[in-house]
Amino acid sequence: DAKTTQPTSMDCAEGRAANLPCNHSTISGNEYVYWYRQIHSQGPQYIIHGLKNNETNEMASLIITEDRKSSTLILPHATLRDTAVYYCIVRSYNNNDMRFGAGTRLTVKP
């Protein structure tokens, strides 16, 4: 009963923008979209989250479609250190069951 669908892997050239897609066609009105990443074997790291408006912080931008059925995480200038597995998760604030799927393995190449 996966709530999100992500590509298994993607490549990106160093210095270019990395655009990671996520489909969440069954998202409910009170569910947020969260993005995390896991570098090598470290604990996952929070990146960004949003409800329906586009969001930007110092790490990334999150673009959510108007119908909220999909979103894209954008790393504007990817570096080698951005090579990681990126997880897209949908959940509501009152749902404490935070589950991670398989994610997208992003490889940034020189």
Interface residues toward other proteins, by CB under 8 A: 32, 34, 36, 41-46, 49, 85, 87, 91, 93, 96-103
Cβ 59 to other proteins, closest distance in Å? 12
Hey, what are 105's tokens? 């393995």
Distances (CA, A) of 20 to 49, 76, 96: 14, 11, 25
Residue placing its CB nearer to other proteins in the complex, 16 or 99:
99
Residue placing its CB nearer to other proteins in the complex, 5 or 100:
100
Cβ 90 to other proteins, closest distance in Å? 10
Cβ 16 to other proteins, closest distance in Å? 26
Helix (H) or strand (E) segment spanning residue 82: none
DSSP 76: T
Cβ 70 to other proteins, closest distance in Å? 20
Residue placing its CB nearer to other proteins in the complex, 75 or 85:
85
DSSP E strand stretches across the chain: 9-13, 18-23, 31-38, 45-50, 55-56, 61-64, 70-75, 84-92, 104-109
